[in-house]
Each structure stands twice: as structure tokens, then as C-alpha cells.
Structure 1
Amino acid sequence: MELATRSSAIQVILSEHRRLTSIVSGMLRVVDGMTSGSGPRSAMLMRAMLYYISEFPEQVHHPKEEQYLFARLRERSEQFDAVTGELARQHEDGRLRVHALERALRRYELAGADLLPALRDGVYGYADFYASHRHLEESVILPGAQRYLTVSDWVEIDEAFAANRDPFESLETEDNLNDLYRLIVQTMPEAQA
């Protein structure tokens, strides 16, 4: 993708999108594997993935997109008002979807395989939702930002996104989201070719 030439914030955003995409892909593989009775370990892995999403993309990434990138783009051009408004609504919808997935996972853990189809439907729905959301940001917002934002806009945005750090960085290693991300990726079942 040609976007990564103007700003270090764009590099950070694209990298964080790739991380979330890998987590969502892993969620699909895990929920599919649950049908074969992989049980508690898969449920724990799914819980870790949902925790990662709720703590990093939902608490750090999305608020910064809205506060810095979307706000500056709206200041520079009215052309993106509807899209940034829609993306902000999607950020809220994504948060609600993650909570719904957490509830569906708890119900599955408590009631068993009869509730697996609802969890699976929720995971697949979230994956479709996120893919569409990511596409809108990367195909409309990032190119628009490269076109309309000023050097001073980028200095502020780059600084804000450069500060994106794991919110648990100062805690013990076991609580570190980067470590959690690596653990999730290493533990995920392999994608079937």
C-alpha cells in the first residue's frame, strides 16, 4: 500500500490494523476449532483475544483516530465529515460488539456446545464488520489525510500515535499487551491452506 510514505502515524495505524486483523483471523480459527471440542483452552484463548481488543484498539487506537486524525481531516475538508462520522459510530458499534462477544463466550462456557453457534455467528459478524471498517479507513481516510493535512497537522498526529504504547507497559510482564499479543499469535491454531 502506498499510504506509508508521508507520516509515521500512518505507519503506526497500518501496523495496529494488521495486528487487529491477525487477532480477528485467529478468532475465526479458534471459534471454528471449538466445534471439534477443543473446549477450555480455546475459550481461554478467545477470552485473551477479546481482552486485547477491548484494551488496546478500543481504548487507545480508536480514540486517537477520532481525536487527532478524524478531527484534523474535518477541519481541512468537509468532504470527509460523513465518513468520519460513520467511522466514529462504527467505533462505538465495535465496542458494543466486543461486549456482546464476551457475553456470548460466557454463555458458551456456562451452557456448552448448544450456544456455540451464537458465538460463532458473533465472531463471524465481527470479522466482517471489522474488515469493512478497516477498508473504509485505509481506502478513504488515510489517502484523504495525506492529501489535505498540513505539515503541522502531521507533526501533532505523528507525536500522538508515536506515543501509542501498551497501556500495561509499566505493569508486570504477564500483564503486558504486547506479550499477550505474542502469546495469542503463538497459541493460535494454524490457518488451513
Structure 2
Amino acid sequence: MRGSVPTTRCARGQASGPGENGDVVDDRNSPAVRRRDLLGLSSAALAGAVSVTAYRGLPGAPALAATPGPQAAPHEQEAEVTPPEDLMREHGVLKRILLVYREGIRRVEGGGSAPAQPLNAAARIIRDFIEDYHEHLEEQYVFPRLREAGKLTDTVSVLQLQHRRGRALTGRILAATGRSGASGTHARRSLVADMAAFIRMYEPHEAREDTVVFPAFREVVPAKEFLELAERFEDEEHRRFGRRGFEGIVDQVADIEKTLGIYDLSQFTPAR
């Protein structure tokens, strides 16, 4: 979704997992299917079924083979996945990284060492996918439109400040989990404090965007422009992160979770 892809990110069209020094290692070549293409095909098939059913209900209508109706226009096919939906999916990636940070905090506070490689890989996803891509889209397209409309201007100012503070925290987390590592007691405490501050800020940050900011953005952008933005967002995603785009990033996060033993969803279910 942004400029060149850093060498630590997976190659285009491939899935990945953390390797040595926390690098993300790529080992798959599954073909990509655009999310909106699937939705468009489903919408077209449904439209055809409705068209045939309605015709057969007319008095005296001759029998017809079940043929699909006219396909929807390209923009109509893609209208199912909107810019806020894309941004909210990306918030799902952020939420899962926050769980990775929580696991790092739990291990250090339990007397263990910091799991430097997976934490570093997680922080690089925050830097590359969340900060340099996701937040860039918000700052380029979402926040300016709200300011122009005079909506949520105070909230937008706070969110942008939090973006800057988040980048500072990520920089320190990357440094602390690099090759030198957070070996000393003071370094480990600083790492825990930075991850805890990141979690505390971004949980309300993303919740406010999902429930207030993105709905307001939808209200101030005309429908035609909304559809154009949806296509622009996806094109930028694939330009930056390869053919698998979002799906490839999700695979990277899953591999980090597996490394830390927190991938299995059932482990978070209370016993009663």
C-alpha cells in the first residue's frame, strides 16, 4: 500500500513466518483472489437468480432456462467492501499484535526473558502495515475530509497526535528487540512499559475510529467517490504488499502467534 517493500516483509504472492532474528520468512506461493472479485461474483449470481424468478412469475411468461441476468457494473460489484471496512479489517491486525505484546509483557513480568524475535517481527508489522500504510491512508483521506466538513475536528487532532506517539513507541520497541536485545533489567522494564503504553493508547484509539470516525467519514463522502476510494485503497494495498496483500499480512501475524503459543483460539475461552 505504500512505497517500496522493506526487506523484512514477505515477498509478493507469498505467505511467511518469523525466521532468524525475527525476520519474516516466506515459503508459499498460493494464487491471490481479490476480495472484491469474490463479492462481485456473488452479487452478480444473485442478481441473475432474482431476474429469472421475477420473469417466471409474470402471467403467460414462457418457460426459460435459468440464465443469469445482466452483470452489475464493476463499481456496483465492488461496493460491498467499503474504505471503512478495509480500515476496520486492518484494525483486526492491530488487535492481534496487541495480544502479541500482552504475551511479551506476561513472560517478562513472570520472570522470563523477552521473546525478542517474535516481538520484533510484530513491531515491524506495526511499522510497515499499520503506521506507514494504514495510518497514512487515514491521514491522507479520512482526517482531511472530516476537517473540511467541520466534523470531529478535536477527535481527529487527538488521533493524529496518537499516531505520532505510537511511532515513537514502535521505534523504541524495535530497538529493544533488535539484535542487541533487551538483556538488562532496566531494558526489559522499559520494553514492557513501552508495549503497555502502546496497548493502552491503541485500544481506545481504534475503538473510537471504528464506532465514530469511520461512520462520520462515510457520511461526508459522496457515494461515487466512496467507490473510487475503495478501489484506490486496494490498489495501494497490493502495490505495497504484493498480490496477497492483507491476507499475506494476516498469515505473518498467525505465524508469530504460533511461535508464542497463542494462536489456538480455544485457549482464551473461560472454563466456566
TM (norm. structure 1) is 0.80
Distance 1:189 1:33 in 2: 12
Contact kept in structure 2, 1:97 and 1:126, CA below 8 Å: yes
Pairing partner for 2:128 from 36, 52, 55: 55
What is aligned with 2:61? none
What is aligned with 1:64? 137
1:117: how far off? 1.8
Distance 1:56 1:166 in 2: 12
1:70: how far off? 1.8
Contact kept in structure 2, 1:30 and 1:46, CA below 8 Å: yes
1:104 matches 2:164: no
Superimposed CA distance per residue, residues 47-80 of structure 1 (whole angstroms, 9 cap, x where no aligned partner): 11111111111111100111112222333x2022
1:135: how far off? 1.9
Unaligned 5+ segments in structure 2 are 1-78
How high is the sequence identity, in percent, across the aligned residues?
23
1:186 matches 2:241: no
1:43: how far off? 0.9
Distance 1:19 1:28 in 2: 14
Pairing partner for 2:100 from 26, 33, 42: 26
Larger radius of gyration: 2
Judged with a 3 Å threshold, the aligned counterparts in structure 2 of structure 1 residues 29 and 166 are, in CA distance, closer, same or farther, namely farther
Contact kept in structure 2, 1:56 and 1:166, CA below 8 Å: no
The aligned amino acid for 1:82 is: D
What is aligned with 1:115? 187
Distance 1:107 1:169 in 2: 28
1:141: how far off? 0.7
Say which structure is richer in helix. 1
Contact kept in structure 2, 1:8 and 1:162, CA below 8 Å: no
Higher deviation after alignment, 16-25 or 114-123: 114-123
Higher deviation after alignment, 179-188 or 114-123: 179-188
Contact kept in structure 2, 1:6 and 1:146, CA below 8 Å: no
1:162: how far off? 2.0
TM (norm. structure 2) is 0.59
What is aligned with 1:173? none
Structure 2 SS opposite 1:111: coil
What is aligned with 1:81? 153
